[in-house]
Amino acid sequence: MDYTAQLDAAIDRLHEEGRYRTFIDIERRKGQFPHAVRTRPDGSEQDITVWCGNDYLGMGQHPVVLNAMHEALDATGAGSGGTRNISGTTVYHKQLEAELADLHAKEAALLFTSAYVANDATLSTLPKLFPGLIIYSDALNHASMIEGVRRNGGDKRVFRHNDIAHLRELLAADDPSRPKLIAFESIYSMDGDFGPIKEICDLADEFGALTYLDEVHAVGMYGPRGGGVAERDNLADRIDIINGTLAKAFGVMGGYIAASDKMCDAIRSYAPGFIFTTSLAPTVAAGAAASVKFLKTAQDLREKHQEQAKILKLRLKGMGLPIIDHGTHIVPVIVGNPVHTKKLSDMLLDDHGIYVQPINYPTVPRGTERLRFTPSPVHGSGEIDSLVQAMDRLWSHCALNRAELAG
Ligand code: PLP
């Protein structure tokens, strides 16, 4: 067996499909976000502005977070030294879980090493707890939910994205006596659109289903205390399991679910993805806890975040660029062709020091390839000006279409 040839063939397939990924080598500069230094392939350095990060509020450089991490490092050392069950549960993990349970007004929270793992581990474990479970999953759910649902061996139904009528049809077609769960997101990160939380909760009530909501792109940023869209809309108590990340708005890393005591206890006891892996480093748990706590009262930061997103959308729209605007903080500009998207992204980086990663199929459907900008409170008016001017120039340079401008 020629294993090397098979690896070559696998990589070649990606090249042929235009899906081979290359990483941009960057080092963020603490205290200077969104600025970073890129190391070019030839080893030279370039100052750049990051426009596609998910550190949505700049908490990755916030003194409150950094101080908590320094203190934990000095107090307890680097790693946790074990799984949660075997010597890896510390006061930092307990504090963070208490902050998160409080954030979502739930009885308990359970930490995982990422929100990907939290989704995968939880969704793949639920059929063990509820034999015969049917999971209804939004067609645009994140890969981590798809993977968890796929691996669990139970029945699944995929409903068309945000299509309540289709979800109802699927629910109604199934045996009323079987346990059910509806899995969806509050903000879908590629289009930046909201999930219909209330309508889905109404259907869940009607059909006796549990609800599972991924708030990864909303926690820290929406709701009066950063509890997400469900908190903003007073719907958190209607969600059985909330999933969130500590890696985006909270600026650190890790993931979690928040739910009832019993639900967390059962997942804790049955999910291999929770049980058989080393717990988060105490430094990470300490930084995340400080971030969650800080953001509970940082409404000014949330407002500034939304304001920056509004300004950027308004300015890009003003130039006739085809942006998708669902009223969230995510700003996708549709280019509609993978070659142009890559070219725009390369030129923004090489000629303007603006870093935005191209988003292609299969992350988004073919023909909707895009640049996805993530403005934040640390992007000032100077950075926005530079981006808008560069996009204007490059859009003309590549002879891409613009919308008819009113007036
Ligand atoms: N859920 C959604 C909707 C996401 O977009 C992501 C990551 O981008 C995740 C889960 C995974 O989050 P994490 O980076 O914490 O693994």
Q: Which tens digit of pLDDT belongs to each residue from 252-271?
A: 999 999 999 999 999 999 99
Q: Which of 119, 144, 145, 372 for mutating ligand 1's site (highest number of atoms within 8 Å of CB)?
A: 144
CB 395 within 8 A of CB 319: yes
Q: Which amino acid makes up residue 36?
A: A
Nearby residues of 381 by Cβ (< 8 Å), 6 or more positions away: 311
Q: What spacing in Å lies between the alpha carbon of 217 and ligand 1's midpoint?
A: 8
Q: What spacing in Å lies between the alpha carbon of 374 and ligand 1's midpoint?
A: 15
Q: Which amino acid makes up residue 86?
A: I
3-state secondary structure of 344: helix
In Å, what is the CA distance from 56 to each residue of 125, 252, 259, 348, 377?
31, 11, 25, 21, 8
**Paired tokens of 239:** 């969600």
Q: Is the Cβ atom of 185 under 6 angstroms away from ligand 1?
A: yes
- Ligand 1, closest atom to CA 144? 10
The pLDDT of residue 19: 75
Nearby residues of 303 by Cβ (< 8 Å), 6 or more positions away: none
Q: Is the Cβ atom of 214 under 6 angstroms away from ligand 1?
A: yes
Q: What spacing in Å lies between the alpha carbon of 149 and ligand 1's midpoint?
A: 15
The pLDDT of residue 404: 57
Q: Smallest Cα–Cα separation from 231: which of 258, 191, 267?
A: 258
Active site residue 293: no
Q: Is the Cβ atom of 122 under 6 angstroms away from ligand 1?
A: no
Q: Is the Cβ atom of 121 under 6 angstroms away from ligand 1?
A: no
Per-residue pLDDT of the chain (407 residues; tens, 9 = 90+): 999 999 999 999 988 877 788 899 999 999 999 999 999 999 999 999 999 999 999 999 999 999 999 999 999 999 999 999 999 999 999 999 999 999 999 999 999 999 999 999 999 999 999 999 999 999 999 999 999 999 888 899 999 999 999 999 999 999 999 999 999 999 999 999 999 999 999 999 999 999 999 999 999 999 999 999 999 999 999 999 999 999 999 999 999 999 999 999 999 999 999 999 999 999 999 999 999 999 999 999 999 999 999 999 999 999 999 999 999 999 999 999 888 999 999 999 999 999 999 998 888 998 999 999 999 999 999 999 999 999 999 999 888 888 754 43
User: What's the CA angle centered on 327, arms 232 and 374, to 5 degrees?
Assistant: 100
Q: Is the Cβ atom of 247 under 6 angstroms away from ligand 1?
A: yes
CB 216 within 8 A of CB 223: no
Q: Is the Cβ atom of 146 under 6 angstroms away from ligand 1?
A: no
Instruction: Take atom 13 of ligand 1 and give the residue whose Cα is closest.
Output: 115
Q: Is the Cβ atom of 144 under 6 angstroms away from ligand 1?
A: yes
The pLDDT of residue 406: 41
Instruction: Tell me the C-alpha distance between 391 and 331, whole Å.
Output: 13
Q: Which of 156, 180, 248, 313 is catalytic?
A: 248
DSSP-derived secondary structure for 103-148: HTT-SEEEEESSHHHHHHHHHHHHHHHSTT-EEEEETT--HHHHHH
Instruction: Tell me the C-alpha distance between 154 and 135, whole Å.
Output: 8
Q: Is the Cβ atom of 119 under 6 angstroms away from ligand 1?
A: yes
Q: Which of 186, 215, 245, 364 for mutating ligand 1's site (highest number of atoms within 8 Å of CB)?
A: 245
Instruction: Take atom 12 of ligand 1 and give the residue whose Cα is closest.
Output: 115
3-state secondary structure of 193: strand
